[in-house]
Structure 1
Amino acid sequence: MKLGMIGLGRMGANMAQRLMQGGHQLVGFDPKPEARKSLEDKGAESADSLAALVAKLSAPRIVWMMVPAGEITDSTLTNLLPLLAAGDIVIDGGNSNYKDTLRRAGTAAEKKIGYVDCGTSGGVWGLAEGYSMMVGGDENTVEQLRPIFETLAPAKDKGWGRVGPVGAGHFTKMIHNGVEYGMMQAYAEGFSILQHKKEFGLDLHQVAEIWRTGSVVRSWLLDLTADALGKNPSMAGIAPYVVDSGEGRWTVAEAIDLNVPAPIITQSLIERLRSRDSESFTDKLLSAMRNEFGGHEIKKE
């Protein structure tokens, strides 16, 4: 059976390649001709439209969407569902908000089309290392897809699993990313303290390498941190500006809704927002207040 893949960006293309290496037949669609050509060069078929993609698949069709969360996922699904039939299955492997996933699954269910949400982690390393996949959906539907998940995972029995009904996959991935925010912030703050202790002349890359083995703080994230420090010890040329893709915000909002205290994740999100405020009105006003009540000096621009 051929699998349809929508979205051949870097991660989608890598997932497609891993599936092909595992013996799966694949047809891919992407609006960019160069992305389709790249897939063809790897030995897969491509389609220049959603209709052409569906036409190349045999029933029951399985279509994996690997497109950005939000409006693009909605518009893709709106155009895709009329082309499918009862018994077909759609997998959303992007970082969708689980509430959107529940809504989309309801729309698919009206047409008796299966909907599975797969929270996917692994980034650019997934092709070689395998992907961590948190899967939500009907138990029987997920079982049909087992060969696909087993191929994409680090091992058939490791790194993936059905975590609950539809929506649970994206919910779990959302919390995963919130935890990631906190871990990244802790590492960054720790290495910043080390870097500021100038009299010791610490080699941050060396410290990271030491921590990687035997230490309680060792992790893959630390491996990547060590790699970054090895390439650029002073972080030269990198602006102190950290973006967020939404999952941290959703995690904090969910924590508030559930009355669960999550100060570390929340503060790590705030720090990302703060990194973008190069003209902080907050800090300017704080300086002015100190001057008003205590006559403290104001640093001029």
Structure 2
Amino acid sequence: MDLGMVGLGRMGANMAERLVRGGHRVTGYDPGAAAREQAAARGIAPAASLQELVAALPAPRAVWLMVPAGAPVDATLEALLPLLSPGDTVIDGGNSNYKDTQRRAARLAEHGLHSVDSGTSGGIWGLKEGYSLMIGGEDAAVERLRPIFETLAPAPERGWGRVGPSGAGHYTKMVHNGIEYGLMQAYAEGFAILGRKAEFGLDLEQIAQIWRHGSVVRSWLLDLSAEALAKNPRLDGIAPYVEDSGEGRWTVAEAIDLDVSAPVITASLMERLRSREKDSFADKLLAAMRNEFGGHAVRKQGD
């Protein structure tokens, strides 16, 4: 099957290469010439422009977007609209907000175009292991793309599926990432407790390896933690600064809108925000309050 891929960053290029290995023909476009050259070396036919990419695809076309969420998606869609024809399909495989996806689907429909949103999980390991695909869109549009999804997934019969109409795929991926926040935070806190127990001299990588097999807390995230600890047991050189890409915030906001209690996911998001505070006013005020009501000592900066 022919597919156009817009966005040849690491994940987009890996997905395109997996499709090529699976026998599909992929034409890729990226505004960066270096990215296009690297994609060509991986069997992906490079296009120098969106016009060239669309012209290379047989109708009805399928164009997969792997561009950053937000304004870049809207800009790409606006550029594609005059180039595509009724019956073509646009797939957004990034981490777009589901409300944006619903809005974009309505706009594409006005032009006779189909919209499919594919919440995509698998990271840099997807090329080898396959991707988990949570897909939203019309039944017929998703079914036409079945060969693509079956190739990208870990196996044709598992790891992917249509979960609902337009927006449902990105909504499901949003909650998936919220859960991921909580899992990561629990592992991080647990290993921090183990590492602080100096009298036992615990080997954290050894413990992670033990837990990977037979334990009720075994998971891929634990596998990755074990690998990270094996490479760098003390995590030297890594700043205690944790980014978030938006999905955790959206999940918390959705929980509030739906009156669903989600304390673990919310707390994990707050911890990520806290990790970025180099000079926490809140912590200073806490120390000052303790001094005021109990006479507890206050440490001065530099102590």
Common fold: TM-score over 0.5: yes
Match of 2:134 in 1: 134
Deviation at 1:45, TM superposition (A): 1.4
* Partner SS for 2:82: helix
Question: Over residues 261-291 of structure 1, what are the superposed CA-to-partner deviations in whole Å (9 max), with x where a residue is unaligned?
Answer: 0000000000000000010000001111111
Deviation at 1:58, TM superposition (A): 1.3
- Note if contact 2:17-2:43 (Cα within 8 Å) is conserved in structure 1: no
Match of 1:74 in 2: 74
Deviation at 1:295, TM superposition (A): 1.6
1:179 aligns with 2:172: no
* Partner SS for 1:140: helix
- Note if contact 2:242-2:272 (Cα within 8 Å) is conserved in structure 1: yes
How far apart in 2 are the matches of 1:41 and 1:204?
40
Deviation at 1:11, TM superposition (A): 0.2
Match of 1:264 in 2: 264
How far apart in 2 are the matches of 1:212 and 1:241?
26
Question: Over residues 209-230 of structure 1, what are the superposed CA-to-partner deviations in whole Å (9 max), with x where a residue is unaligned?
Answer: 0000000000011000100011
How far apart in 2 are the matches of 1:177 and 1:237?
26
Match of 1:299 in 2: 299
Match of 2:211 in 1: 211
Q: Give the alignment's Cα RMSD to 1 decimal.
A: 0.7
Question: Over residues 178-234 of structure 1, what are the superposed CA-to-partner deviations in whole Å (9 max), with x where a residue is unaligned?
Answer: 000000000000000000000000000000000000000000110001000111111
AA aligned opposite 2:208: A
How far apart in 2 are the matches of 1:290 and 1:38?
58
* Partner SS for 1:172: helix
Deviation at 1:241, TM superposition (A): 0.6
How far apart in 1 are the matches of 2:56 and 2:80?
14
AA aligned opposite 1:24: H
Match of 2:89 in 1: 89
How far apart in 1 are the matches of 2:81 and 2:21?
29
How far apart in 2 are the matches of 1:220 and 1:294?
46
Match of 1:198 in 2: 198
* Partner SS for 2:4: strand
* Partner SS for 1:83: coil
How far apart in 2 are the matches of 1:42 and 1:206?
37
AA aligned opposite 1:9: G
Match of 1:162 in 2: 162
Following superposition, which runs of at least 4 residues in structure 1 exceed 2 angstroms of deviation? none
Once the two structures are superposed, the pairs formed by residues 25-174 of structure 1 within 5 Å of their partners are: 25-174=25-174
* Partner SS for 1:82: coil
TM-score scaled by length of structure 2? 0.98
Deviation at 1:153, TM superposition (A): 0.3
* Partner SS for 1:234: coil
Question: Over residues 109-161 of structure 1, what are the superposed CA-to-partner deviations in whole Å (9 max), with x where a residue is unaligned?
Answer: 00010000000000000000000000000001100000000000000001000
* Partner SS for 2:218: coil
TM-score scaled by length of structure 1? 0.99
AA aligned opposite 2:172: T
Deviation at 1:46, TM superposition (A): 1.1
Match of 2:243 in 1: 243
Question: Over residues 13-50 of structure 1, what are the superposed CA-to-partner deviations in whole Å (9 max), with x where a residue is unaligned?
Answer: 00000000000001100000011111112222111111
How far apart in 2 are the matches of 1:195 and 1:40?
46
* Partner SS for 1:206: helix
How far apart in 1 are the matches of 2:202 and 2:40?
49
AA aligned opposite 2:10: R
Question: Over residues 94-118 of structure 1, what are the superposed CA-to-partner deviations in whole Å (9 max), with x where a residue is unaligned?
Answer: 0000000000000000001000000
List gaps (5 residues or longer) in structure 1: none
Aligned pairs, number: 301
How far apart in 2 are the matches of 1:127 and 1:41?
15
How far apart in 2 are the matches of 1:161 and 1:246?
23
How far apart in 1 are the matches of 2:300 and 2:91?
55
* Partner SS for 1:235: coil
AA aligned opposite 1:118: S
How far apart in 2 are the matches of 1:43 and 1:284?
56
* Partner SS for 2:163: strand
Deviation at 1:292, TM superposition (A): 1.6
How far apart in 2 are the matches of 1:224 and 1:42?
26
Deviation at 1:2, TM superposition (A): 2.0
